[in-house]
Amino acid sequence: MSTVERPPTESGPPTESTRTVTKRELNQQTARVLDAIDEGESVVVTERGVPTWRIVRMTLDEDPIEKLRRAGMIVREASKNPRPWSDRSTWPRQYTPEEIDAILDEIRADKI
């Protein structure tokens, strides 16, 4: 299984285990490119001579949530003590007939 990501703009020259292919070559020789990725190479795909994508083999032992946190795509909740869930044992709330009349009178008053 592989993942496709855009290479960072500040990336340096490709390493010796990096292969560069054109978008057309990837389209026409997908199986060969994926075989190279399976052998441990990372592949940089160029579009009109500009490196645009990097395809690397996914590591399944890596926690996807932690990877997103490192990438800055998700952040932990700011509060260490989040508000507790409301007590749903009282839901739906049972209104008394007097409370219902008061609510209806308030709604009717708003329409006048």
Q: What is the pTM of this model?
A: 0.42
The rounded distance, in Å, linking the Cα atoms of 26 and 48 is 13
* Mean pLDDT in residue range 53-69: 81
Percent of the chain scored above 90 by pLDDT? 28
Q: β-strands 50-57, 42-47: how paired? A: antiparallel
The rounded distance, in Å, linking the Cα atoms of 16 and 42 is 10
Domains of the chain: 2-70 (3.40.1620.10)
* Mean pLDDT in residue range 36-56: 90
Residue 5 dihedral angles phi and psi, to the nearest 5°: -140, 155
The rounded distance, in Å, linking the Cα atoms of 20 and 43 is 6
Going by pLDDT thresholds of 50, 70 and 90, the confidence category of residue 9 is very low
